[in-house]
Structure formats: C-alpha cells, structure tokens
Amino acid sequence: MVSELSQDFVHQPIQGCGPMVATFAQIVDLLRCPDDAEPLRYASGDLLCPRCARRFSIYEEDLAEILPSRPHALPGTVSPQYRNAYIEAFEQNYRDDETI
C-alpha cells in the first residue's frame, strides 16, 4: 500500500535540484530523532526531541545536522580504511564558511 505522502510525490512533476523550498517548520512532522526515533518538534528555531531533549540546530533556515549521538556500530567485515574514514567524518561538525 502506498501512503498518501508517497502518492503526492509520484504525481508531482520533478521541480529540479534547486534549494529546498519548505522550511523545517513545514516538514518537522517528517523528521525523527536519530537516537530514539521520536518525532522531532520545531522549537525556537531548533529541532527538538521531546524524549531525549537533544536539540538539532538549523543553519541558514534550510540546513540541519541530524546525526546520531554515537557512530553506528559497523560490521566486522568493514575495512580499517573505511572504518577510520567513517569515524573521522562522523566527528566533523558542520561549520558555516562565513563564521570561520
């Protein structure tokens, strides 16, 4: 069964790859906390998880970094190079170029 939301996407023409039009306040019902899957809420310009109280900052009104608090446990078959690159990428934080 296709959800109502999926049907909307199927029947709408592709708008291109331009900037996101909807604000987080408009799409917050679709977002979940990466740690506990609780629906996020829009609160004072941030996204807030009411269960674990994590806040996810919104940058420039159209970019949010919604990552789990800890890296995912990778399977033992992953190469050391991939594992190291994953951990290194996970530990990077978003920085706005204008604030550097």
Q: Which of 40, 47, 48, 49 binds Zn ion (CB under 5 A)?
A: 49
52 binds Zn ion (CB under 5 A): yes
Q: Which of residues 17-46 bind Zn ion (CB under 5 A)?
A: 33, 35-36, 38
Local structure of residue 13 (DSSP, 8 states): P
Per CB under 5 A, which region of 5-13, 51-59, 67-75, 82-90 contacts Zn ion? Answer: 51-59
Q: Which of 32, 41, 51, 55 binds Zn ion (CB under 5 A)?
A: 51
**Are the CB atoms for 57 and 40 separated by under 8 Å?**
no
Distance separating the N- and C-terminal Cα atoms of the chain: 48
Pairwise CA distance, residues 83 & 8, whole Å? 38
